[in-house]
Structure 1
Amino acid sequence: MTALAVASSLFSCNEEDYTPPLKLPRTSDLSEVEISTRFDGDDSDWEGSEFDTEESGVDDDSDEDFDYVPLVDTSLDSDEPLAEYVRRHWERNAPGTPSFCWSKRENFVRRHCFEGTPGVKAPLEDSSTPLEVFTSVFPEELFQTIVDETNRYVRQNPRTPSSHMKGWEDTTVREVRSYVGLRFLMGLQSKRDQREWWSTDPLMSSSVFAKTMTRDRYDALTSALHFADNEGEHPAEDRLWKLRPVLDVLESTYRSAFVPNKNVTVDESLWAFKGRHHALQYNPSKRARRGLKVYKLCSSDGPEAGYTAAFKIYMGQDRGVFPSSMKAVTDLLEKADLFDKGYQLYTDNWYTSPTLFHYLQARKTSAVGTVRLNRRGMPSDLQASRGQIDFRSSKTGMICLQWVDKRPVTMLSTAHTSKVVTLPPNRRGVERSKPEVVAAYNNGMKGVDLSDQLAQSYPTTRKTVKWYKKIFFYLLDMTTTNALAIHRALGGKLTQFEFRKELVRGLLQQGGPRGSFRRNPPQARHEEEVPQQAHLPVDTPHRRWRRCVLCWRKPPAQEGDQGDVQLLRHLTLSSTVLSGLPCLKVVGQFMPEDNLKEKHRAFRHFMPEAWIKEYCT
């Protein structure tokens, strides 16, 4: 056989032997192996298949509907760098360009392989205590920073002497730890007024507060609480410099202690604040309505749902190349180090836009969210009737779907098609159906709301006009919520109340003893060290009464002398150390010698008449 005959036999075929190429629309989710197995080179099953465009309602007017323009094509015929080629193709297909268009065809989803490493990264175990978990996100160095800056602030701004409060004593890490524990305990034990936690009324008293710290010391710490040097140099553009040391540490620990799972959400919270600040926001849809806005990126699924991986406090400076809504999302993902790892993001209609989702696609991040129809690049011909859907898709794998339930709901997604799912029966036994993208959105948007709900259940915040103190205690609540999420990710079963209670117990046990926090701590003296000749009453400044320490501690000699000893204990003549009867034997020397009536008038409220006649004459 000649070469011509061989070539002729190879490239010629009869009409009966010809097998048409397999051609699937974009609704196909089958792999190449499944396709080859299912059709086996025969298109006889094609006419009545589930992919028939006439039954699915998808227009198929030309072969252009099946053209696939990849977002990244690595087959290059020139020496152009791959990064430059990808950038050029991404810009060419971006919303707002002539090549970007919407068409009524099923979406071809581009799946990104999930390359994240979710889980607890802090050195913790299943048996770790709540205090150990809390310390992993609120480290010891942060307590030390608070101690240093608080003491520095008092040195820079000496306190005005007060007749009812003692002078300032430098605080310590142990004392600040006890102070934070009391703030947590206040959230667990709600009171009408702060003074009631130190009340002596048996019906209202809580002995833990008085045993840990006096009310005056607590007020002094609250007043002097600081986190940065007021006289140091700070960047002019940093409006959060008063909290910068705290913010830097928390942002680092939130990112390193735990890595969230695939589904995350971005939303804003409103921290209530009624003081004055240039960044205050008014949002009638929020419960607080007026306060400071905070952007948060939280985990949406699993036992750690509600964990805040990154946050950003709005200070009115979101100006840049991107719009403020887009910049908030990209900044949070960059802080949490979640780009290019296959994460799936959920946002509401304030953030969602075709421009943002196209950018996230280029960073290997899927996105789902509700969207406003007036966003730039949105289709203008969506018309869905009640109970029906209408959708458009782009060549880049983005779908815009409108569904009418009680009112129109418009969704934008790079991870879904127009598939409709049936939900489990409700309480009345009625089965409902809705688009898969809507059901996924309802489950994926709960992260930030759950975080806010947990933080507001037992708040540590109190009324204050200092914005940085208010923000600090909001951060403290958010840190505790993160610690609870880590505890649950480790397999812990404690409720939030039990977790906070054990956390308070650990903080107070590591705090300082009561004596170091008393307003008038006694001097470290012992009875045997004080000579009896020095045990004399002296005149005190401003004629103020003082208790005799040894007389106060001396037990009654006999059971019948209980009443007399109680009266003796209330004799408060001098701040020097006194003991027992010698105090009374020298009263005659202390009072005027020729005025017995004055002696009676001075001591008639403290001693029986017989004692006055015996020791004052």
Structure 2
Amino acid sequence: MTERRGPPYYTDEELLEILMNSDEETSDIDENEVPTSNEDEVDETESDLEGSEIHCYLLVKNRDEISDDGPPEVIPKLDGAFSWSNQPFEPIIHRYNPATSELKNTFDPNSTPLMCFKQFFSEALLEHIVIETNRYADDTSQTAPSTSRQSKWKPTCRDELYVFLAVTILMVHTKKRKINDYWATDPLIVTPIFSQIISRDRYILLLRNLHFANNEEQKNTNDRLFKIRTVVDHLKAAFSKSLHPFQNLCIDESLMLFKGRIGYKQYIPSKRHRFGIKFFIYVIVKLDIH
């Protein structure tokens, strides 16, 4: 009879080496991020990693070996190596206060869908988008051929932009293969509501010229979200004013399909949409709000 062998035992050094190798094999940054031809972005990312201080915590066999005296001792980083601490990680516990959670007074039972939508996409935000869209369209129209759609551009306004957003949201509920199909006249696939709201050429022209920032100001910043920074900051402030997190939350990740050129786009072969931008999402369990 052969002797029964138990599970393998590893030293602290062997365990740390296994963990480090596992991180390298499953890293999204190394495997899933699509390389770009922009060397400046690569250098910037590497310099950020080199300048950051990473704290790792040693694994110990006996919990009694851990001392509770004072904060963890951090060893200075040498030659790009990790900084180690002999204390376990203790996360910050945020106390839940029911009095300051859930929906704010900005909503009431009589609120219409449009009123709720304007709590986040306010008229001030739409006015900003109108200004930047008209600015970008005017610049591109000057060099566009006289026979192109761009040469026929007419300035947009806030009300038309609300219509544009409404049609775009409606497209999600009525999926078709191409944008032109939403204005098709074939009885088999016709959806007349779209042509009743806005013409196809005008929608495509708005979609092509939609802009959120002044391109001239991008030369003085390294912000990778510069193109949409105003919208992101506005939405963050609007959500903070309108909604506080509930007690039961779930953190999920989502990959938004994107095939354009961007420095933080990822490639994940196992996903249905292999190319995209990864989002980390708070999900409110009670309301199923993302």
Aligned to 2:72: 91
Deviations 1:284-329 (A, max 9, x none): 3433222122233x14421x2333xxxxxxxxxxxxxxxxxxxxxx
| Structure number having the greater helix percentage | 2
Whether 2:286 is the aligned partner of 1:286: answer: no
Task: Structure 2 unaligned segments of length 5 or more: list them.
Answer: 1-62, 75-82
Letter in 2 for 1:269: S
Aligned to 1:343: none
Contact 1:261 1:299 in 2 (8 A): no
Contact 1:151 1:170 in 2 (8 A): yes
Aligned partners of 2:138, 2:94: CA distance in 1, in Å? 56
Task: Structure 1 unaligned segments of length 5 or more: list them.
Answer: 1-63, 72-87, 102-109, 308-617
Give the secondary-structure state (helix, strand or coil) at the position aligned to 1:201: coil
Whether 2:164 is the aligned partner of 1:179: answer: yes
Aligned partners of 1:197, 1:112: CA distance in 2, in Å? 48
Aligned partners of 1:99, 1:195: CA distance in 2, in Å? 61
Shift in CA distance, 234/128, structure 1 to aligned 2, threshold 3 Å: farther
Provide the alpha-carbon RMSD of the alignment.
3.4
Contact 2:72 2:86 in 1 (8 A): no
Letter in 2 for 1:278: G
Deviations 1:401-424 (A, max 9, x none): xxxxxxxxxxxxxxxxxxxxxxxx
Aligned partners of 1:249, 1:163: CA distance in 2, in Å? 34
Aligned partners of 1:196, 1:205: CA distance in 2, in Å? 8
How big is the shift at 1:154? 1.4
Whether 2:96 is the aligned partner of 1:114: answer: yes
Instruction: Give the number of the structure with larger relative contact order, counting CA–CA contacts within 8 Å between residues 6 or more apart.
Output: 2
Aligned to 2:136: 153
How big is the shift at 1:263? 3.0
Aligned to 2:60: none
Aligned to 2:224: 239
Contact 2:251 2:283 in 1 (8 A): no
Whether 2:179 is the aligned partner of 1:194: answer: yes
Shift in CA distance, 113/258, structure 1 to aligned 2, threshold 3 Å: closer
How big is the shift at 1:201? 2.7
Which of 270, 285, 289 does residue 301 from structure 1 map onto?
285
Whether 2:114 is the aligned partner of 1:138: answer: no
Whether 2:108 is the aligned partner of 1:125: answer: yes
How big is the shift at 1:148? 0.8
Deviations 1:350-399 (A, max 9, x none): xxxxxxxxxxxxxxxxxxxxxxxxxxxxxxxxxxxxxxxxxxxxxxxxxx
Shift in CA distance, 185/160, structure 1 to aligned 2, threshold 3 Å: same
Which of 243, 246, 262 does residue 247 from structure 2 map onto?
262
Aligned partners of 2:245, 2:205: CA distance in 1, in Å? 40
Letter in 1 for 2:254: S
Give the secondary-structure state (helix, strand or coil) at the position aligned to 2:276: strand
Letter in 2 for 1:115: N
Aligned partners of 2:88, 2:230: CA distance in 1, in Å? 45
Alignment of 1:489-528 (within 5 A): none
Deviations 1:76-130 (A, max 9, x none): xxxxxxxxxxxx723269x9544659xxxxxxxx987433621112511022111
Aligned partners of 2:185, 2:272: CA distance in 1, in Å? 36
Letter in 2 for 1:89: G
User: What TM-score comes out, normalization by structure 2 length?
Assistant: 0.64
Letter in 1 for 2:221: A
Aligned partners of 1:146, 1:299: CA distance in 2, in Å? 28
Structure possessing the higher radius of gyration over alpha carbons: 1
Aligned to 2:58: none
Aligned partners of 1:148, 1:111: CA distance in 2, in Å? 44
Give the secondary-structure state (helix, strand or coil) at the position aligned to 2:107: coil
Give the secondary-structure state (helix, strand or coil) at the position aligned to 2:147: coil
Aligned partners of 2:262, 2:94: CA distance in 1, in Å? 43
Aligned partners of 1:163, 1:245: CA distance in 2, in Å? 31
Aligned partners of 2:85, 2:223: CA distance in 1, in Å? 37
Shift in CA distance, 165/215, structure 1 to aligned 2, threshold 3 Å: farther
Aligned partners of 2:95, 2:262: CA distance in 1, in Å? 44
Whether 2:193 is the aligned partner of 1:208: answer: yes
Contact 1:92 1:99 in 2 (8 A): yes
Aligned partners of 1:165, 1:275: CA distance in 2, in Å? 22
Letter in 2 for 1:172: C
Shift in CA distance, 218/261, structure 1 to aligned 2, threshold 3 Å: same
Aligned partners of 2:150, 2:269: CA distance in 1, in Å? 43
Aligned to 2:4: none
Alignment of 1:374-453 (within 5 A): none
Letter in 2 for 1:152: R
Contact 2:150 2:205 in 1 (8 A): no
Aligned partners of 1:199, 1:300: CA distance in 2, in Å? 39
Aligned partners of 1:164, 1:120: CA distance in 2, in Å? 45
Contact 1:136 1:253 in 2 (8 A): yes
Deviations 1:421-449 (A, max 9, x none): xxxxxxxxxxxxxxxxxxxxxxxxxxxxx
Aligned partners of 2:177, 2:148: CA distance in 1, in Å? 27
Contact 2:129 2:211 in 1 (8 A): yes
Aligned partners of 1:152, 1:100: CA distance in 2, in Å? 54
Which of 251, 268, 273 does residue 236 from structure 2 map onto?
251
Deviations 1:46-104 (A, max 9, x none): xxxxxxxxxxxxxxxxxx98xxx9x7xxxxxxxxxxxxxxxx723269x9544659xxx
User: What TM-score comes out, normalization by structure 1 length?
Assistant: 0.32
Aligned to 1:559: none
Give the secondary-structure state (helix, strand or coil) at the position aligned to 2:152: coil
